[in-house]
Amino acid sequence: MTGSNIFVERDESFVNLWLFIVINTTILALLINILSLNYGSNDVAPYLLYIPVVIASYWYSSRGPIFAVIISLAYMGLVYYFTHGALGELVASSIKCYILIGVSVVVSSLATHMRKNEVKYRGIFNHSEAGIGLVNSSDLSIAEVNKRFADMLGYTTEELTHISFADLWLEPPVKDTFFNQLNLHENVENLETRFKTQTGKDCWVLISAGKLPDKQFVCTIIDITDRKKAEAALLIKDHAISSSINAIVILDLDFNIQYVNRSLMKMLEYDLELEFLGKPTSQFFASRQIFDEIREMLPKKGSWFGEVVLVKYSKSPIFVLIWINMVKDETGKPICIMASFIDITVRKQMELVKREALEQIEQNIEQFAILGDHIRNPLAVIMGLSSLAPGEITDKIILQAREIDRIITQLDMGWIESEKVRDFIKRYYLVGTEARVNSKEEPKKKYPSP
């Protein structure tokens, strides 16, 4: 970057003005030196040349030393002309010219460095992702803001310079706190508040400020509206999880417990959340085999659903229905594990009672069929013996035996219906010889009795 470019970036409006000043002061200084040399008194006049040289070196830093050399040569030419080449005068004048050039180099270097820094900080000001503004402390008028500051509030940079900084605040107590801290400590850091936008909506900002010379202070604002909305949504979700009737736990990727809600604590009969935090989940499973199965299948399928048995604080088992999911971020990377539980211990106990009752029905049906056969056998003997001694009494005995046989026949018809009931029970309630083996032995491999 050249000195002229730096100058244009810094203050382009003064280019023509300072060029005019440099030209006129140069001409005036040379004329005074000509008069001084002509009258033989040249002690003070050469120092007037510092004025145009310093101005040119400051405003045109890349060309300042060149301009100083030209001025020095012109001055040396005048001295040579008016002194007719007097060696003493030429030596004294050359020393003054070397000093003049040296001053020009120093001023040019300082000006270049200063303007580079100014351009750098101007770039930071203009292109920062944070909104930056300069405010006058006396009347709180906004002197200057960057584009980000204006866009954040829905204004243009020009419109904001006509608005008081105090009018942007929507929370007077926070505004008072801000100015009290600024006046007391001369800086404010990371204060959350709401600013009013051009449309009248709220804009949550994180504001910091610091005092500057000339009764000004600089403030930076960062839009945190999305963050505040996310915090509010997170607070609602956190409350929903903590107050949920379902037991919920959040684990890290190593299956260590990071969070439990009150329902899970109550379900497992614990009093403090600290009794869970950081502990491995396997500690609360009755079956290590089932836990290892879940741990193996979860990364592959992303979720697991089924019945497991957990261990309460009292070491007693509790049947639960668990739904465990791998939680992933927007890129699909796993970040944690979430599981919810429903207590089904009562249901399992009722199923056990129901199974036992249906098994008893099965036994009663079988006993009923056997009893019918046992009744027919002695009845056949009675009828056979009665037929050996014919008579009126024998006829009555045979008549009653036939009535008994008719009743047993009706019971046999009911037995056929009972066979259908038994088949239904075997099919849908796992009751029967084979069903009893499967229903009793298989669960024992996974679950203890409730």
Q: Is 64 exposed, middle or buried (0-12, 13-18, 19+ CB in 10 A)?
A: buried
Element (H, E) at 326: strand 317-328
Mean of the per-residue pLDDT values for the chain? 81
Q: Find the helix or strand (DSSP H, E) in which 192 lies.
A: strand 187-196
pLDDT tier at 14 (50, 70, 90 boundaries)? low
- What is the pTM assigned to this prediction? 0.51
Q: Which residue has the higher pLDDT, 383 or 99?
A: 99
Q: Is residue 175 scored above 90 in pLDDT? A: yes
C-alpha–C-alpha distance, residues 34 and 41, integer Å? 10
Q: What average pLDDT does the segment 144-150 reach?
A: 91
Residue 200 contacts by C-beta under 8 Å, 6 or more apart in sequence?
A: none
What residue has token string 């969070």?
259
Cα three-residue angle 307-308-310, rounded to 5 degrees? 145
Q: Report the C-alpha gap between 149 and 144 in whole angstroms.
A: 10
Mean pLDDT of 352-364: 72
- Would you place residue 4 in the very low, low, confident or very high pLDDT band (cuts 50, 70, 90)? very low
Pick the residue with more confidence: 352 or 325? 325
pLDDT at 118: 77
Could you tell me the pLDDT band of residue 294, with boundaries at 50, 70 and 90? very high
Which tens digit of pLDDT belongs to each residue from 93-141? Answer: 888 889 989 999 999 899 888 888 777 777 777 777 889 999 999 899 9
Instruction: Among 180-189, 364-373, 400-409, name the most confident range.
Output: 180-189
Q: What's the whole-number mean pLDDT along residues 349-375?
A: 72
Distance CA 224, CA 42 (A): 69
Report the sign of the C-alpha dihedral through residues 11, 13, 16, 17, in that order: negative
Position 216 scores a pLDDT of 92
So what's the pLDDT on residue 396? 75
Rounded average pLDDT over 50-55: 89
421-445: per-residue pLDDT in tens?
666 666 655 554 444 444 444 443 3
Q: Give the pair of three-digit tokens for residue 272.
A: 């403090």
Whether 53 and 103 have beta carbons less than 8 Å apart is answered as yes
Residue 95 or 350, more confident: 95
pLDDT of residue 257: 92
Please indicate whether residue 98 or residue 15 has the higher confidence score (pLDDT). Answer: 98
**pLDDT computed for residue 206 by the predictor:** 94
Instruction: Count CB-CB contacts under 10 A for residue 179.
Output: 17
Closest residue by Cα to residue 18 from 55, 49, 43: 55
pLDDT of residue 434: 43
pLDDT at 421: 64
pLDDT 10s digits, 249-285: 999 999 999 999 888 889 898 988 888 999 999 999 9
Helix (H, G, I), strand (E, B) or coil at 413: helix
CA distance 274 to 256: 13
| Confidence grade of residue 408 (pLDDT, cut at 50, 70, 90) | confident
pLDDT band at 369 (very low <50, low <70, confident <90, very high): low
Q: Label residue 8 by pLDDT band (50, 70, 90).
A: very low
pLDDT tens per residue across span 219-239: 999 999 888 888 888 788 777
What is the per-residue pLDDT for 18? 80
| Residue 151 bridge partners (DSSP) | none
The pLDDT of residue 433: 44
Mean pLDDT to the nearest integer, 142-164: 90
Question: Mutual orientation of helices 3-11 and 87-127 as an angle, nearest 10°?
Answer: 50
Give the rounded percent of residues in the chain with a pLDDT score beyond 70: 83
